[in-house]
Structure 1
């Protein structure tokens, strides 16, 4: 077994951590009220690290981050780029007395689910392993969820209802308790194609392939499809053909041992 496969098996077993450079400090007299009016989490309930979504007025995800309490305000560790998150926040600063400061810190994401902020990244798992790890675990990247409603990609637990007004809150309130027509699923390639791409079932568009990745187990991917598309269905798109699978992939339990069958 090669080094990368060994490290993948280690990560899938919950050992090790990934490190992502760049953390944003939000501070100033209006830091609380500004952030409360931007993100989906209720800051009054914040007691530790917490994922937070930043929506547009249609309730679609624009940015996401892990939010940490800080003595001067709040730390935001982006799920995408630091520049993208800062740009999203600055767009809504008008008369707010807030300051955004990029810090040379790291978001440390442990394979067992814990998150923390660190000053160094020594000992981290290779960054190039992260897309494969998240794919097998069924964890979407920011690029997979941008433009989608939180409910459609399994992130409704990051929306605190009843917290008051924030960007996208009106749409979230309208859809509270209602089932949305899409869900996040896995794709196993039967014939390789490209992503992102529209997916069809029996000639009808049913969703979108978000990303595809070569893995030790073949070409796998993530997609958002209509809920009536059953697990096991064969869909087409981007020049490929795929079987819809539940997440996480069964290979997420891989221990590094290959079947002899």
Structure 2
């Protein structure tokens, strides 16, 4: 664990990178119009990597990926499983002249936020470190946000309004400018951890959902989607446990190697 803590400190300090195998090449005469009709981002004139969401007809997140421009079309590096993203896209392929090819490439995510596609993942942090890193930084995994509206999990910046029709666009247009009732928050387990995912209750009423909980050098921490009227510092119940609501990123994201006293 001590070696992992050193790696975690380096990653939180913006050093090093993570590597995720498997990239999709989307190419063909209809590559641009097809992807425009699927992703939340406007991909016309794309000159560098851009995060994009893939919604269902209710505006809820199904998949997410980083999209890279490519001479033949686009490279899509999934934030979840490659098979999941491919299945999502193939579900909407009808008469489109589009080809999906799986390439043995890697999405490199640098701890300072940069992204690139590479032929090798050599030198990357161990895969097991990534969930812990994202948790402390307040960066949700795809499993944390699937089924949620982009604005409820702080990902509205990945939605380009006015780009034209795409799956889920009608719902996003209806909610543009409206107040968001939920937000992504941190959860600190108090005593008994409880089983997650679970509903969260405050003052006897349901106010949200705990999405993830895991052991860290600072005790069990997690992520949840909770109504905005619940203040930070409030104690919530769920899954047989109690949790304190905290803002993201966790204060431990600026960890200097010392354990939290909390």
Indicate if the aligned counterparts of 1:135 and 1:222 stay in contact, CA closer than 8 A: yes
Once residues 181 and 6 of structure 1 are traced to their aligned partners in structure 2, the CA distance between those partners, rounded to angstroms, is 38
Indicate if the aligned counterparts of 1:25 and 1:100 stay in contact, CA closer than 8 A: yes
| 1:99 matches 2:93 | no
SS of aligned partner of 1:172: helix
CA deviations 1:188-228 (Å, max 9, x no partner) are 00031111000000110000000000000000000000010
| 1:49 matches 2:46 | no
SS of aligned partner of 2:121: coil
Residue 258 of structure 1: how far off its partner (Å) = 4.0
SS of aligned partner of 1:43: coil
The residue correspondences of 1:75-154 to structure 2 (distance < 5 A) are 75-154=75-154
Once residues 259 and 55 of structure 2 are traced to their aligned partners in structure 1, the CA distance between those partners, rounded to angstroms, is 42
Once residues 59 and 235 of structure 2 are traced to their aligned partners in structure 1, the CA distance between those partners, rounded to angstroms, is 30
Indicate if the aligned counterparts of 1:12 and 1:255 stay in contact, CA closer than 8 A: no
Aligned CA-pair RMSD: 1.2
Residue 260 of structure 1: how far off its partner (Å) = 8.3
SS of aligned partner of 1:218: coil
Q: Which residue of 1 aligns with 2:185?
A: 185
Q: Which residue of 2 aligns with 1:197?
A: 198
| 1:68 matches 2:80 | no
Where do 5+ consecutive residues of structure 1 fail to align?
Answer: none
Once residues 94 and 121 of structure 1 are traced to their aligned partners in structure 2, the CA distance between those partners, rounded to angstroms, is 35
Indicate if the aligned counterparts of 1:10 and 1:255 stay in contact, CA closer than 8 A: no
Indicate if the aligned counterparts of 2:41 and 2:159 stay in contact, CA closer than 8 A: yes
SS of aligned partner of 2:23: strand
Once residues 170 and 58 of structure 1 are traced to their aligned partners in structure 2, the CA distance between those partners, rounded to angstroms, is 9
Once residues 135 and 260 of structure 1 are traced to their aligned partners in structure 2, the CA distance between those partners, rounded to angstroms, is 18
SS of aligned partner of 1:251: helix
SS of aligned partner of 2:53: strand
Indicate if the aligned counterparts of 2:25 and 2:76 stay in contact, CA closer than 8 A: yes
- How many residue pairs get aligned? The number is 261
Moved more, 32-41 or 250-259: 250-259
User: Residues 260 and 187 of structure 1: is their aligned pair in 2 closer, same or farther, counting only changes over 3 Å?
Assistant: closer
User: Residues 258 and 203 of structure 1: is their aligned pair in 2 closer, same or farther, counting only changes over 3 Å?
Assistant: closer
Residue 257 of structure 1: how far off its partner (Å) = 3.1
SS of aligned partner of 2:220: strand
Where do 5+ consecutive residues of structure 2 fail to align?
Answer: none
Residue 45 of structure 1: how far off its partner (Å) = 4.6
Give the TM-score normalised by the residue count of structure 1.
0.98
Give the TM-score normalised by the residue count of structure 2.
0.98
Once residues 147 and 258 of structure 2 are traced to their aligned partners in structure 1, the CA distance between those partners, rounded to angstroms, is 38
Q: Which residue of 1 aligns with 2:208?
A: 207
